[in-house]
Amino acid sequence: MHMTELSLCVDEGGKSYRIPIGNASVMSPALDAPSALVTVDVNTYVRKGKTAPAADRTGKDILLLAGNQYRLYGWKPGERLAFATQDASVSGVVHLTEGV
């Protein structure tokens, strides 16, 4: 039998975001925590940046596959994440919870 355990520390709330994405790159709020859990409902490119990062659909950025949950890290406090759908004609949602 195969069993998988998923563990998650529940916080006080207020650090989760629902980010609608479509044909243009969109940014998260500035992040305070050094990591975040991210779930996307469509294939989505992501990149980090200080002021106004823009995710790129040409394959230069990291591709997150739909239906998976990712623990992302590697930015400094105050930086943002930018997201763009893999297909410009598709829209979707990024669910981001920082600090877990």
The pTM of the full predicted model, rounded to 2 decimals, is: 0.87
**pLDDT one-digit tens code per residue, 35-85:** 999 999 999 999 999 989 999 999 899 999 999 999 999 999 999 999 999
pLDDT at 1: 77
d(CA 42, CA 12): 28
